[in-house]
Amino acid sequence: MRYLLRQLGLYILAAWASLTLNFIVPRLAPGDPASAMFARYKGQLQPEALAALREAFGFTGGPLHEQYAAYLAHLFRGDLGVSVAYFPAKVTDVLAMGLGWTALLTGSSVVVAFALGSLLGVIAAWRRGGAFDTTLPPLLVFLGAFPYFWLAMMLLYGFGFTLDVLPLRHAYADTLAPSLSFSFVASVAEHLLLPATSIVLASVGGWMLSMRSSMIGVLAEDYVTMAHAKGLSPLRIMFHYAARNALLPNVTGFGMALGFVLGGSLLTEIVFSYPGQGYLLVQAVRSQDYPLMQGIFLTITMAVLAANFLVDVLYVWLDPRTRGR
Amino acid sequence: MGSAPLLAVEELVVAYQTPSGPVRAVDRVSFVLERGEVLGLVGESGSGKSTVAQALARILAPPAMITGGRVLFEGHDVLAMNEDELRRFRWRKMSFVLQSAMNALSPVLTIGDQIIDVLVTHERTSKRVARERAAHLLELVGIDPTRLASHPHELSGGMRQRVGIALALALHPPLVVMDEPTTALDVVVQHEVLSKIAELKEKLGLSVLFITHDMSIVSQFATRIGVLYAGRLVETAPTRELFRAPRHPYTKGLLGSFVSIHGPRRKLVGIPGSPPDLRRLPAGCAFRARCGEAAAQCATEAPVLRVIAEDHHTACHVVSP
Amino acid sequence: MGSTKIPRKAAVGLAILGVFFLMALVGPLVAPYDPSAFVDIPLQPPSRAHLLGTTGQGQDVWSQTIAGARASLLVGFVAGLAMTTIGATVGAIAGTFGGLVDDVLSLLTNVSLVIPGLPLAVVLAAYLPAGTRALLVVLVATGWAWNARVIRAQVLSLRNKDFVAAAIVTGESRLHIVFREILPNMTSVLASCFISATVYAIGAQVGLEFLGLGDMSVVTWGTNLYWASNDAALLTGAWWTLVPTGLSVALVGTALVLVSFSLDEITNPRLRAVSDWTRALAARGIRPGASTPVVRDHG
């Protein structure tokens, strides 16, 4: 289990680094935008609210280490300040609204893209140089080169506006209230389809290429030659012997790429007005809501670190060599 | 079928596709392996010996292709088989022990999985029966059957190599191809594994194609020896005859660098120069540049195997019967 | 296919890049209109007067696409170069020195890798004054680590090579070894790092500007898409305000990736050998299966 402990240590360190960055960046910025922010809010917020916001950011007027301590103390109490865009809601409450939707959209599309891309990569490597292998990768590279949100806009234009077969925005129909009824779940799925498809289209090529090159390496290994020599069926060699080994570096890459794909999926949310963190992010940027921006940065970082740790647990399960160590 | 030898390779040619065109890695290699015989194939790395071995079961990975010859196993041409026939032929008729069992066993599957796999595929036994048989196989090579649940990285190099041997014996094939089975091991373990192979060979009456670069190992095992150079067989003879009277200058060089089984063992350093680039083989004899006895004819005409003495063939212009 | 010929993928990639470079270089001189100026009725579809139509602000889309190429490619390549330089330095020092230096630098690299880039970039961009310099800082800060990781791994595999061992034995200083012996011997890795960093930088820039971060008054591919979306391009069906820019981003990205593929094939000839092999078999009507094919054409 030493492997998992080491990874956990890395994530704790990364969590601390992002908390600290969150503290430092407003103070390092030239022109003191934080003060400017407080000055601008003076008209908008009541004096108590402004004081609370200063507190939460650690702008207490004391020396830096005291400010840092005050900031951390508020953070660990779950106080990220008040949102300006959604005043008087607390940032934590605003974030809570969007977290589930982002997890649903990003989670489902990343898993589908990874599974599909890996499968395509396995097949392409197995039939290297064949028709499938020569046509699909360039096509998917081209698709993947478009900005995620651009593909999202095109899908929205095509299927939403022109063909009018799928909903244009939001996570479920306005006429429904969240419940576990069939009509609500169906509506959620219907609203998920287009944004998820655009994320899958944009990211599947990357997974395919990395799985393909990992497979090509594995196919040259002696244990694959042995599997052929043993007279096993091609499907068994391809998946049980080759793909299972080729998957390992890709699972590590999955954790690393998660943050990157998430960036794209946040922008996709904006196109569909999908009520997740990305949608909140654009609201925050437009109304210069610094507390909300920073809150989003922290929650998303924590979520990505947690997801990375889950991927590590999966890795240990997949690779017996990491278990003893 | 009784009259056909176990394995007869006729004029086998194997080429690899390279960016500068196809390159012949094995060039018109022919040999015969009779039942109960141990044939040693000897050569430096790059001489094509592993390529010959893997071509026999057609398990060479791309970009290899077989461009000529026949591989007759019990009279049936392996090169004419379709995929189904090949799958039935592999491991049941011819199994492999590959160099460095670390890479020959998949690191993510247990030892048991990789033995049971073969039994279930070829004999359609239940997993339970297969597991029992796998346990017996491990016992046969002196490994505790509880090791079936282990992964390859949990075993020592010597143990992995013995697992490889157990795996090769799983279906009692008439022929086992051993490709440098002891190269990655240290001397003591090497000795241990070799005596295990010798013991099992006697006990089970196996035929073996034994591939190595190490003359001292092959001298202990082989009944006959074939020497490969740059993809071509340059000499074949019974082991005793070859050691007593080597004829090809290359073989003489190999044996010159080899003192005795019990003396200090040296690698093939006794021959000046290095093996030729297969992409740019010279006209004539491929060994000419390193040969101390080369004649004018060697530069123009490639020598072919000729009978030099009884059961002794050499491909060299300057050797006379 | 001869080995001296430029691979087809590289040729296509370089050709596309050439067109865009030309566009960035001389484009503004030949662009029909001032990209920021109101020149005609807003939201006109492509016509003879406006090859790619007009935007919601009445600007000429074709002129905007050309102007965007200059701004976006410049930022992309400068950021890519900076990321590669920093990544190569950190990665090569970590890989060559080993020990504590490696531990610290690897930790730093891995920490920056797991922190998601876009949210951090948003926070940074929000606090920094809007402008190209801030954008470059943001892009490099969020994108250098991947290169460091790749280059460290490559250095570790080079460290055992003879020429490095020789330099160590002759008592060359470590930094000399890093910059004179190791980095020059991995040009193809550096080149593909530069390419992927540039692709990242162009994409991230477009994303940030689409969010509304940066200087919205400058014409770049990112701001073009921001304004198109702001002017409700989809609602009004003004696809021509989205397609040229999106297509440009994708073409440049694809071209860079194609060049990178070719670099891979040149440094790893085995990759190409297999494609040639498949083609050679196909020419003889053989579809490669699971077993080594038998091809008899020499009788």
Are A231 and B103 in contact (CB < 8 Å)? Answer: no
Question: Given the DSSP bridges, would you call strands B224-229 and B232-238 parallel, antiparallel or unpaired?
Answer: antiparallel
- Tell me the domain boundaries of chain B: 248-321
Give percent above pLDDT 90 in chain B. Answer: 57
Buried b (16+ CB within 10 A) or exposed e, C144-159: bbbbbbbbbebbeebe
Give percent above pLDDT 70 in chain B. Answer: 94
Provide the shortest C-alpha distance from residue A97 to chain C (in Å): 18
Nearest CA in chain B to A236: B117
Q: Average model confidence (pLDDT) for chain C?
A: 87
Q: Do A210 and A121 touch, CB atoms closer than 8 A?
A: yes
Q: Which of A224, A234, A319 sits opposite B108 (nearest CB)?
A: A319
Nearest CA in chain B to A244: B108
C-alpha to C-alpha distance for B216 and B255, rounded to whole angstroms: 9
C-alpha to C-alpha distance for B209 and C257, rounded to whole angstroms: 47
Q: Which long-range contacts (CB under 8 A, 24 or more apart) does B138-146 make?
A: B138/B111, B138/B163, B138/B166, B140/B166, B140/B169, B140/B200, B141/B165, B141/B166, B141/B196, B141/B200, B142/B196
Contacting residues for A39 by C-beta, under 8 A, at least 6 apart: none
Least confident of B93-107, B122-136, B167-181, B258-272: B258-272
Q: Which of A34, A128, A260 sits opposite C274 (nearest CB)?
A: A128
Q: Which residues in C lie closer than 8 A to residue B67 (C-beta atoms)? A: 294-298
pLDDT band at B100 (very low <50, low <70, confident <90, very high): low
Q: Angle, to 10 degrees, between the axis of helix A277-286 and the axis of helix A244-271?
A: 40
Tokens (6 digits) for B12: 């086998």
Residue keyed to tokens 């240990």 = A316
Least confident of A165-174, B75-84, C253-262: A165-174
Q: For residue C18, how many other CB atoms are within 10 A of its CB?
A: 11
- Mean pLDDT of the C143-158 span: 90
Are B55 and C292 in contact (CB < 8 Å)? Answer: yes
Which positions 33-92 of B are in contact with A (Cβ < 8 Å)? 54, 57, 59, 61-62, 83, 86-92
pLDDT band at B80 (very low <50, low <70, confident <90, very high): very high
C-alpha to C-alpha distance for A31 and A53, rounded to whole angstroms: 20
- Mean pLDDT of the B159-183 span: 91
Task: Output the pTM of the full model.
Answer: 0.89
- Mean pLDDT of the B250-269 span: 61
SS3 state of residue A17: helix
Least confident of C17-26, C192-201, C279-288: C279-288
Q: Which chains touch B (3 or more CB pairs under 8 A)?
A: A, C
pLDDT higher than 50, residue C1? no
DSSP-derived letter for residue A238 is I
pLDDT band at C2 (very low <50, low <70, confident <90, very high): very low
Q: Which chains touch C (3 or more CB pairs under 8 A)?
A: A, B
Paired with B208 in beta bridges are: B38, B176
Domains of chain A (ranges, CATH numbers): 2-76 (no CATH), 91-177+187-322 (1.10.3720.10)
Provide the shortest C-alpha distance from residue B144 to chain C (in Å): 35
Paired with B306 in beta bridges are: B314
Each residue's pLDDT expressed in tens, for chain A with a length of 325 residues: 788 999 999 999 999 999 999 888 888 776 666 666 777 776 677 777 777 777 777 777 778 888 888 889 888 888 888 887 887 788 899 999 889 999 999 999 999 999 999 999 999 999 888 888 889 999 999 999 999 999 999 999 988 888 887 888 888 887 888 888 888 999 999 899 999 999 999 999 999 999 999 999 899 899 999 999 999 999 999 999 999 999 999 998 888 788 888 888 899 999 999 999 999 998 888 888 888 988 999 999 999 999 999 999 999 999 998 886 4
Contacting residues for C91 by C-beta, under 8 A, at least 6 apart: C105, C109, C147, C148, C149, C150, C151, C152, C153, C154, C155
Q: Do C178 and C192 touch, CB atoms closer than 8 A?
A: no
Residue of A289 and C249 predicted with greater confidence: C249
- Mean pLDDT of the B45-52 span: 90
Paired with B133 in beta bridges are: none
Are B22 and C280 in contact (CB < 8 Å)? Answer: yes
Paired with B73 in beta bridges are: B7, B76
Interface test with B, best of C8, C268, C277 (most B CBs within 10 A): C277
The ipTM of this complex is: 0.89
Q: Which residues in A lie closer than 8 A to residue B122 (C-beta atoms)? A: 231
Least confident of A165-169, B62-66, C34-38: A165-169
C-alpha to C-alpha distance for C158 and C138, rounded to whole angstroms: 32
Buried b (16+ CB within 10 A) or exposed e, A98-114: bbebbebbbebbbebbb
DSSP-derived letter for residue B292 is S
Q: Which residues in A lie closer than 8 A to residue B62 (C-beta atoms)? A: 128-129
Q: Which of A232, A245, A324 sits opposite B107 (nearest CB)?
A: A245
pLDDT at C104: 95
Q: Which of B18, B68, B83 sits opposite C290 (nearest CB)?
A: B83
Q: What are phi and psi of C147, to 5 degrees?
A: -60, -40
Are B117 and A228 in contact (CB < 8 Å)? Answer: no
Provide the shortest C-alpha distance from residue B26 to chain C (in Å): 14
pLDDT band at C250 (very low <50, low <70, confident <90, very high): very high
Question: Given the DSSP bridges, would you call strands B38-42 and B207-212 parallel, antiparallel or unpaired?
Answer: parallel
Are C211 and A13 in contact (CB < 8 Å)? Answer: no
C-alpha to C-alpha distance for B97 and B106, rounded to whole angstroms: 14
Buried b (16+ CB within 10 A) or exposed e, B136-173: ebbebbebeeebbebbbbbbebbbbbbbbbbbbbbbeb
Interface test with A, best of B78, B98, B106 (most A CBs within 10 A): B106
Count of CA atoms in the C-beta half-sphere (13 A) of A133:
22
DSSP-derived letter for residue B107 is T
Of C276, A220, C277, A230, whose CA–CA distance to B67 is shortest? C277
Residue type, C70: R
Are B118 and A225 in contact (CB < 8 Å)? Answer: no
Q: Do B278 and B27 touch, CB atoms closer than 8 A?
A: no
Dump pLDDT digits (tens) for B2-24.
578 999 999 999 999 887 788 99
Paired with B175 in beta bridges are: B94, B207
Residue type, A237: I
Separation in Å, CA C50 to CA C43, C44, C152 = 11, 8, 50
Separation in Å, CA A96 to CA A11, A325, B63 = 22, 38, 55
pLDDT at A134: 86
- Mean pLDDT of the C51-60 span: 86
Are B121 and A220 in contact (CB < 8 Å)? Answer: no
Q: Which of A225, A233, A240 sits opposite B59 (nearest CB)?
A: A225
Dump pLDDT digits (tens) for B261-297.
444 444 444 677 778 888 888 888 989 888 888 888 8
